[in-house]
């Protein structure tokens, strides 16, 4: 969010609302370091990669993902719960592509 000086957010509480979660969504905040983040479709097909660095934030809503740490990494990972460990995900083997696809402003170093 962004607000000009003087904006007041009225005090509030959040009401209980029943929600049904079908897929885990997560957000990552890169505190320090660098990684190549690989995106996959729900059918486990490689889509593209991005380089994430200190200060970057990513929200993962659907599909698959994996990453390789390029520089020593510290990050925050936030998921909605309850988290049920290995029952929460299906791991799969993906052969790295012969060349990674990056958005036009990024390249793998």
pLDDT of residue 106: 54
- How much is the CA Rg of the chain, to the nearest whole Å? 17
In DSSP terms, 78 is beta-bridged to 27
pLDDT of residue 105: 56
pLDDT of residue 109: 46
Q: How crowded is residue 91: how many other Cβ atoms within 10 Å of its Cβ?
A: 8
Distance in angstroms (rounded) separating the CA atoms of residues 64 and 44: 6
Q: How crowded is residue 39: how many other Cβ atoms within 10 Å of its Cβ?
A: 18
Low-confidence ranges of the chain (pLDDT < 50): 107-109
In DSSP terms, 22 is beta-bridged to none
pLDDT of residue 85: 78
Tokens of 14: 């959040």
Distance in angstroms (rounded) separating the CA atoms of residues 109 and 101: 13
Q: What's the pTM?
A: 0.72
């Amino acid at each position: 969010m962004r607000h000009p000086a003087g904006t007041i957010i009225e005090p509030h509480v959040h009401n209980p609302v029943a929600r049904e979660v079908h897929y885990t969504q997560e957000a990552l905040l890169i505190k320090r370091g660098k990684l190549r983040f690989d995106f996959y479709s729900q059918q486990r097909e490689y889509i593209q990669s991005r380089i994430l660095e200190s200060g970057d934030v990513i929200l993962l809503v659907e599909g698959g993902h994996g990453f390789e740490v390029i520089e020593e990494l510290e990050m925050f990972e936030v998921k909605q719960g309850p988290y049920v460990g290995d029952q929460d995900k299906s791991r799969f083997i993906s052969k790295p592509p012969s060349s990674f696809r990056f958005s036009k402003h990024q390249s793998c170093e």
